[in-house]
Structure 1
Amino acid sequence: MIAQKQHTDDGRDMRWGEGKNMKQWGKLSLTIFLAAVLLVISACGAAKNNAPAGEASASPTASAEAAADNAAGGSSDLAALKGKKLALVMQFNTGTFSSQYVEGVKEQAQKFGGEVTVFASDNDLAKMSSNLDAAINQGFDGILIDHGQAAALEAGINRAKEQGISVVVFDADVKVDGVPVLQQDDQKMAEITLEQLAKDAGSKGNIVKVWVAGFAPMERRQVAYKQFQEKYPDIKEIAAFGNANNPALDTQSQMEAILRQYPNKGDITAVWAAWDEFAKGASRAIQQAGRTEIKVYGIDMSDEDLQMIQDKTSPWVASAAVDPKDIGRVQVRILYKEFKGDANEPLVVLQPVYVHRDQLPEEKVSTTQLSEYVEGWGSSTQGYEDWMKDLEALK
């Protein structure tokens, strides 16, 4: 009986111990479960508080990392624009206007971290076409074209496009899809100077025109000249000539011949020159002949031109122009917009200003100082985008 009881007691004790352990495990499981539920609720609440409607929100750390990635990506895109090699293909590079235009091109390109190589064509369109081919074959990143004619340029421009080379043209009548063309408002420049001539002449008199065909800007200026002739029938053209080869010297010799042909004071009222190189030559001939009653009105402006206009013994009294350095700067900006993939207008028109001797001081000034006396001159921001500041700042 004792043995049986012991067995029964041991069994009871064993079952009691097992029950006690199971109760402890159940309490622990419930605690773990409740903690897990609270953790899930807390996480969901945080997501709900931080996320926009309908979206899961990134953590502040992730947002900062994304912003940094975007900034780095922007810098990387701009860094890719550094070190570009540019070709400047010019029909001619005669005179101080052209030299200051080239200065503007190089100045802006260098600020962007680019390098410019000039291909001068000596007013030879066949040579200009060959220079364009050379620029393409040498693998330049971008090509700037100065003057020229469509027949000599468009085949090469299309070939450049096919090879992924960006092209921007100045003062050439080129029409190629995706190739921006810059031009001065040539008709306006002609109108400004011709209207001043008519005013000073009292709407009558005899004039000499110095102009040459075959150049897009000259052709546009000629449109305004024809309108001027219709408007002022009492202003008679008694001579017209022009040569783009050695323009200043050739104009001077031809003007000397015309002065001999019309030797009397009053025979010639004024000269209208459609290019500053023509105005230089005509002015020198008139000044040397002592015929300073004849006034000269020109187009375009350089430092040399400005000094002549300031000279009170010079017959050259006024000119309409765009700062040639600004032309170069704007053309480079348009090219870099092409590099970056930004949209450009197919035609970019540069607005001129009128410069008359009466606006200028007694002491000699340069075109860099001209903005102090002539409103609207120089320091054009045309084509300059905000990102270009960042590009210039990159080393």
Structure 2
Amino acid sequence: MNIQKNKKLGLGAMMLLVLVLLVTACGAPKTESGAQGTSSTGSNTTDAKTDSLNLKGKRVALIMEFNTGTFSQQYVQGVEEEVKKFGGTLTKFVADNDKAKMASLLDSAINQQFDVILTDHGDALLETGLKKAISRNIPVIVFDAAVNVPGAVVLSQDDQSMAELTLEQMKKDIGGKGNIVKVWVAGFAPMERRQVAYDKFSKANPDIKEIATFGSAQNPALDTQSKMEAVLKQYPKGEITAVWAAWDEFAKGAARAIQQAGRTEIKVYGIDMSDEDLQMIQDPKNPWVASAAVDPTDIGRVQVRYAYQKLHGDNPEEQVVLKAVYVQREALPDKQISTSELSQYVKGWGKSEQGYKDWMKEYETAK
């Protein structure tokens, strides 16, 4: 009986030891996201992978220099759609065309400990804040700002290409000579890049003469319309051949002034595209005939994808160029369409897969 009893005690001790080991294993330290040994900020681990479900619930800050016009609205729509797909929450901050305020908003977002920060436009004033964010392991994805901060991913449109596309088409349409009006404003990275192409074009085409130039980022469409009206009075019919506008808000204002004045001999060539812009270009009575652009909704989506690549622990390229396409009235149908339908008529428009990774498919099935 004593031997049997000792056997039972030995078995019980072994079972107890196994139970203790199991409990200890289950109680291993976890990160804030709940995954053992995996950082929720996407820093590299032994296997360099993060369970995609741990990326849900991230707080994303979008800091914008301005949110003027339908292009910006559709860009924000793309950001919102993609953040929602990843299961995150988006907070927008708008600096109302004040670059110093934008830098302050960036600092505020860092102090509020957002998981990722997206910026839209701005300039070198952002660099101090971007460095601060990166030092705190907050991924930052910049759109359309000339900044140089190691660790920050910078997205830009192919601005020089867009300018070249519109300028060369304008040259062809006007027979290589004529008087043109340029609508442009300094102080914005995309505008500056477009101006580089314009300067090169002007030197190569002396028979195309710039007779007036203006532009303001404050109420750009209304300001352009007012100034274009004055230019039209200064130069009567036959003295202006075309208008080249470095931004769709400028093209809108110029086109409205020209149409209202009945100056049908003047054509407008712009850059950027939104649903409102497309309606104007499709209107045969409107002087705006073409634009080079990247789908603004796609820009927002791509920017978010690169943010989540960083959160996932990937190491994406830090200079990302978004390819543009040329949209002209002749390629469009008679019926009114939106930019979501534009890919049916213009090759290369919309539905960009740029920045998309196979592991992102998990988000589409984990809802």
Q: CA RMSD in A?
A: 1.4
Q: Which residue is equivalent to 2:249?
A: 277
Percent sequence identity over matched residues?
68
Answer whether contact 1:113 1:392 (CA < 8 A) is retained: no
1:103-133 CA-to-partner distances (Å, cap 9, x unmatched) read: 0001011001111111011101111111111
Answer whether contact 2:60 2:115 (CA < 8 A) is retained: yes
1:322-368 CA-to-partner distances (Å, cap 9, x unmatched) read: 00000000000000011011111110000000000001111100000
Q: Following TM superposition, by how much is the alpha carbon of 1:283 offset from its aligned partner in structure 2, in angstroms?
A: 0.2
Query: Among 63, 69, 82, which residue is 1:95 paired with?
Result: 69
Could you tell me how far apart the structure 2 residues matched to 1:254 and 1:379 are? 37
Q: Following TM superposition, by how much is the alpha carbon of 1:74 offset from its aligned partner in structure 2, in angstroms?
A: 10
Letter in 1 for 2:75: Y
Q: Which residue is equivalent to 1:164?
A: 137
Query: Among 277, 294, 319, which residue is 2:266 paired with?
Result: 294
Could you tell me how far apart the structure 1 residues matched to 2:82 and 2:365 are? 13
Q: How does 1:143-154 map to 2 (within 5 A)?
A: 143-150=117-124, 152-154=125-127
Q: Which residue is equivalent to 2:164?
A: 191
Query: Among 219, 234, 250, which residue is 2:192 paired with?
Result: 219
1:152-172 CA-to-partner distances (Å, cap 9, x unmatched) read: 201111111122111000000
Q: How does 1:174-253 map to 2 (within 5 A)?
A: 174-253=147-226
1:52-88 CA-to-partner distances (Å, cap 9, x unmatched) read: xxxxxxxxxxxxxxxxx9xxx9996111111111000
| 2:341 pairs with 1:365 | no
| 2:289 pairs with 1:317 | yes
> What secondary structure sits across from 1:238 in the alignment?
strand
Could you tell me how far apart the structure 2 residues matched to 1:372 and 1:77 are? 37
Which of these two proteins has the greater Rg computed from alpha carbons?
1
Q: Which residue is equivalent to 2:307?
A: 335
Could you tell me how far apart the structure 2 residues matched to 1:74 and 1:186 are? 35
| 2:209 pairs with 1:266 | no
TM-score (norm 2): 0.86
1:278-299 CA-to-partner distances (Å, cap 9, x unmatched) read: 0000000000000021000000
Q: Which residue is equivalent to 1:137?
A: 111
Unpaired segments ≥5 residues, structure 1: 1-68
TM-score (norm 1): 0.80
Could you tell me how far apart the structure 2 residues matched to 1:321 and 1:355 are? 8
> What secondary structure sits across from 1:271 in the alignment?
strand
1:237-289 CA-to-partner distances (Å, cap 9, x unmatched) read: 000001001000000000000001002x2100000000000000000000000
Could you tell me how far apart the structure 2 residues matched to 1:122 and 1:208 are? 27
Answer whether contact 1:296 1:318 (CA < 8 A) is retained: yes
Could you tell me how far apart the structure 2 residues matched to 1:392 and 1:149 are? 35
Could you tell me how far apart the structure 2 residues matched to 1:392 and 1:80 are? 15
Could you tell me how far apart the structure 2 residues matched to 1:376 and 1:266 are? 37
Answer whether contact 2:48 2:313 (CA < 8 A) is retained: no
Q: Following TM superposition, by how much is the alpha carbon of 1:231 offset from its aligned partner in structure 2, in angstroms?
A: 1.4
| 2:227 pairs with 1:254 | yes
Could you tell me how far apart the structure 2 residues matched to 1:74 and 1:331 are? 22
> What secondary structure sits across from 2:67 in the alignment?
coil
Q: Which residue is equivalent to 1:17?
A: none
Answer whether contact 1:97 1:301 (CA < 8 A) is retained: yes
Could you tell me how far apart the structure 1 residues matched to 2:342 and 2:50 are? 39
Q: Which residue is equivalent to 1:82?
A: 56
How many equivalent residue pairs?
322
> What secondary structure sits across from 2:343 in the alignment?
helix
Could you tell me how far apart the structure 2 residues matched to 1:221 and 1:206 are? 20
Q: Following TM superposition, by how much is the alpha carbon of 1:380 offset from its aligned partner in structure 2, in angstroms?
A: 0.3
| 2:108 pairs with 1:122 | no
Answer whether contact 2:267 2:289 (CA < 8 A) is retained: yes
Could you tell me how far apart the structure 2 residues matched to 1:334 and 1:76 are? 15
* Higher RCO (Cα < 8 Å, 6 or more apart): 2
Letter in 1 for 2:169: Q
1:204-234 CA-to-partner distances (Å, cap 9, x unmatched) read: 0000000000100000000100111111110
Could you tell me how far apart the structure 1 residues matched to 2:260 and 2:338 are? 24
Could you tell me how far apart the structure 1 residues matched to 2:351 and 2:231 are? 40
Could you tell me how far apart the structure 1 residues matched to 2:57 and 2:280 are? 40
Q: Which residue is equivalent to 2:81?
A: 107
Unpaired segments ≥5 residues, structure 2: 1-35, 37-46
Letter in 2 for 1:343: N
